[in-house]
Amino acid sequence: MKRVLIKYVSKYKIYVIIPFTAMLLSIALDMFNPYLSKIMVDRVIRGKEKELLVMVLLGIGGISITRSILGYINEYLFDYLSSLVSIDLKRDLFRHIQSLPFKYFDGMNTGELMSRIGEDVDNVWRNVSFGTRIFIENCIYFITASIILFKINYRLALISLVTMPFIAYFALMLEKKIDKAYEKISDQAAILNTTAQENIAGVRLVKAFARERHEILKFLEMNKTSYKLNMEQARIIANHFPVMEFLSNISIIIVISVGGMLVIGERLSLGTLVEFNGYMWMLIWPMRMLGWITNVMAQSSASAKKIFNIMDLEPEIKNSENAVKLKEIKGQINFEDVSFKYNDEYVLKNINIEAKPGQTIAIMGTTGSGKTSLVSLIGRFYDVSDGKVLFDGVDIRDMDLKQLRENIAYVSQDTFLFSETIEENVRIGNIDASLDEIYEACKKACAHDFIEEFEDGYKTIIGERGIGLSGGQKQRISIARAILKNAKVLILDDATSALDTETEYQLLKNLYHGDKKITTFIIAHRISAVKNADEIIFLENGRIVERGNHDTLLKKKGKYYEVYCEQFKDFEEFNRQVI
């Protein structure tokens, strides 16, 4: 919590100072009220000083008008401050999350991240505006009220503070217990968010298996846990709030009893007691609020902890201190004895590849043999465990990360489209592209024709993740996006799997016969897609087991040949029949 205050609030001093001053003024004015009441009772009514009446009334009226104006300024500016802080906090958190490596996202649920940047920041935000304001206000009230009370009658004042240590003790206990409760609640909120998020994102699967009831029950369980945690929090509050309230009420009773005795003993005037009584409320109120403030503070500090847990994560993959910026990009990629471990297990071992500018490297292999890991090392989405990956002869870990990624166009096997128009989705490849360039890219990706067939053409809005498009259409749009990027290196990670053979063939032909030669890595399962590659690499269990071009591999009669036969056996049969 402290960190939020120091780092984020101190930036906007002016929005702290103004409302704070307004608050001080307002409180100072409020201090006159009991005094005015005293004059009213002692002098105007008892002393029959009629001439003072108008003055006193004007005073009370004036104070209340000024106080309401000041109150508005105070509230509005604190709200403003808190919204500024919350914007900053959200922005920083968002930026930071973006800078984290793939590995972080592999183990993190979208729902939880949403919960952090949503509910947790909001909790902090609420505290900044409301909690801080009330806290400061009450502190001031408490301090001034005690000063005044001590001035009026220090003995009475001491008596009125007698319950204070007990109240403070309960506040401390409350803080200790409720802090943990809120942490649990915050975690549970993230779980709830994640469960709901997953269910809604996977609703098609749920329906396909008619598992609605199962899902509802699952959510109900989480919901019930959340209920229990909230009840736990309520129980803690119930155990502390009323006691604190009782103690604060007791102190006023003690004051009146003792004060009464003093008046009876004629050591105190009745008016003074009435006045003292008036200021007493200013003292009691903050004491009562203490529990409430502790509660709000604990809640937001639990959230702040969660936020800073993320903020404190150092992005593992980032620019090295003296990152090299290449002047000219050729697009040569080398793997030198690369090994890669994920969760302490080797996914790739001793990989050596040389891709000269303009060459195409095809990668084949069984599912899980390490194909995707291999290509994701090129864009430094993960760092190698051993050996190195070189881009134009430079170890990519020494390269400027942004420059590296700008020169690689990566189409992943998970196609992801944003819920925007098709045009905007393709444009991500190059923000400044002209419409013609976009059309050109789409034509190359064999997407132009089907896009034009839509009623709104390129302006067609795609549903989230490309809902409404077939798998093949999504893949072609994401390939067009990569083509538009015009990078020296293109990676197609099984990105043509949902295309029919003809389209795939056409698309690859367009790519290979482009005017600019780009280095291409292609992962595919169909012989037709890899046949023309300069080198075909066959992976098995993270090792290269076969390599060469189409012809040499066929001659070798190894794995590649086997795949070839499987895919073409009936074609040959068919040819025999027909011809």
Partner 1 sequence: MAKNIVKQDEDIKKKSNFEITIRLFKYMKPYKFKVFIVILLMIFVMACNIANPYLLKTAIDKYIAGDDLKGLLKIGIFMVGINLIAMFASRIRIKSMASISNNILLTIRHELYSHIQKLSFQFFDSRPVGKILARVIGDINSLQELFTNSVTSFIPELLTLICVTIVMFSMNYKLALSAIVILPFLALSMFFIETVSRKRWQVFRTKRSSVNAFTHEEFSGIRVVQSFTFEEKKSKAFVELVKEMMGAFMKAVKLGDLFWPLIEFSSGIGIVLVYWYSVKLIDKGNITVGTLVAFTSYIGMFWRPIMNISNFYNSLITNFAAAERVFEILDTKPDIVSIHDAVKMPRIKGNVEFKNVTFSYEDGGVVLDDVSFKVNSGETIALVGPTGAGKTTIVNLISRFYDAQRGEVLIDGKNVKDVDIESLRSQMGIMLQDTFLFSTTIMENIRYGKLDASDEEVIAAAKAVGAHEFIMKLENGYHTEVNERGSRLSVGQRQLISFARALLSNPRILILDEATSNIDTFTERIVQRGIKKLLYGRTSFVIAHRLSTIRDADRIMVVDGGKIIEEGTHDELLRCKGLYYDLYMTQYRFLSEGA
Which helix (DSSP H) or strand (DSSP E) does residue 411 occupy?
A: strand 408-411
Q: Quick check: 491 and 411 in contact, CB under 8 A? A: yes
Site residues for partner 1, 515-574, by CB under 8 A, read 525-526, 528, 531-532, 559, 562-563, 566-568, 570-571, 574
Is 473 a binder of partner 1 (CB under 8 A)? yes
Question: Quick check: 66 and 50 in contact, CB under 8 A?
Answer: no
Residue 210 binds to partner 1 (criterion: CB under 8 A): yes
- Per-residue x/- track, 127-166, partner 1 (CB under 8 A): ----------------------------------------
The residue behind tokens 């003072």 is 52
**Residue 40 makes contact with partner 1 by CB under 8 A:** yes
User: Is 501 a residue that touches partner 1 (CB under 8 A)?
Assistant: yes
Q: Does 494 engage in binding with partner 1 (CB under 8 A)?
A: yes
CB 477 within 8 A of CB 446: no
- Which residue in 307, 429, 522, 536 binds partner 1 (CB under 8 A)? 429
- Binding-site member from 2, 10, 264, 327 for partner 1 (CB under 8 A): 264
Surface-to-core class of residue 429, CB atoms within 10 Å of its CB (0-12 exposed, 13-18 middle, 19+ buried): buried
Reading phi first (left if > 0) and then psi (alpha if -120 to 50, else beta), residue 377 is in alpha
Per-residue string for binding with partner 1, 351-380, x by CB under 8 A? -------------xxxxx--xx------x-
- Of 186, 299, 300, 503, the residue at the interface with partner 1 (CB under 8 A) is 503
Q: In this complex, which beta carbon is closest to partner 1, that of residue 5 or of residue 274?
A: 274
> Considering the rule CB under 8 A, would residue 510 count as an interface residue with partner 1?
no
| 144 or 473: CB nearest partner 1 | 473
In order, the DSSP letters of 492-514 are EESTTTTS-HHHHHHHHHHHHTS
Q: Residue 389 has which token pair? A: 């990956």
Give bridge partners of residue 546 from the DSSP assignment.
538
| H or E element, residue 345 | strand 345-355
From residue 311 to residue 350, the character string flagging contacts with partner 1 as x (rule: CB under 8 A) and all else as - is --------------------------------xxx-----
Nearest of 230, 132, 236 to residue 188 by alpha carbon: 230
Q: Which is nearer to partner 1, 297 or 489 (CB)?
A: 489
**Vertex 399, ends 395 and 401: CA angle to 5°?**
125
| 514 touches partner 1 (CB under 8 A) | no
d(CA 261, CA 267): 9
Interacting residues with partner 1 between 394 and 413 (CB under 8 A): 402, 405-406, 408-410, 412-413
Q: Crossing angle for the helix pair 471-485 and 435-444, nearest 10 degrees?
A: 130
Q: Would you count residue 261 as binding partner 1 (CB under 8 A)?
A: yes
Write the CA distances from 411 to 236, 317, 376, 402, 478, integer angstroms.
Answer: 53, 20, 10, 17, 7
Of residues 86-125, those binding partner 1 (CB under 8 A): 86-87, 90-91, 94-95, 97-99, 102, 105-111, 113-115, 117-119
Shortest distance, position 421 Cβ to partner 1, whole Å: 9
Minimum CB separation from partner 1 for residue 186, in Å?
Answer: 12
Asked if 57 is part of the footprint of partner 1 (rule: CB under 8 A), the reply reads yes
Binding characters for partner 1, 171-200, by CB under 8 A (x = yes): ------------------x--xxx-xxxxx
Give the footprint of partner 1 on residues 62-81 (CB under 8 A). Answer: 63-65, 67-69, 71-72, 75-76, 79-80
Tokens of 284: 């009691």
Q: Is residue 212 near partner 1 by the rule CB under 8 A?
A: yes
> What is the edge-to-edge ordering of all strands in the sheet holding 394-395?
345-355, 333-342, 386-391, 394-395
Q: How far apart are CA 382 and CA 188, in angstroms?
A: 31
Categorise residue 393: left if φ over 0, alpha if ψ from -120 to 50, beta otherwise.
left
- By CB under 8 A, tell whether 169 contacts partner 1: no
Q: Residue 21, interface with partner 1 (CB under 8 A)?
A: no
With contacts defined by CB under 8 A, how many residues of the chain interact with partner 1?
A: 182
Identify the residue whose tokens are 């780009």.
Answer: 518
Residue among 321 and 344 whose Cβ is closer to partner 1 = 344
Looking at the Cβ atoms of 50 and 337, the one nearer to partner 1 is 50
CB of 395 to partner 1, least distance (A): 19
Report in angstroms how near the CB of residue 354 gets to partner 1 at its nearest: 21
Between vectors from CA 121 to CA 119 and to CA 123, what angle results, nearest 5°?
70
- Three-class secondary structure of residue 545 per DSSP: strand
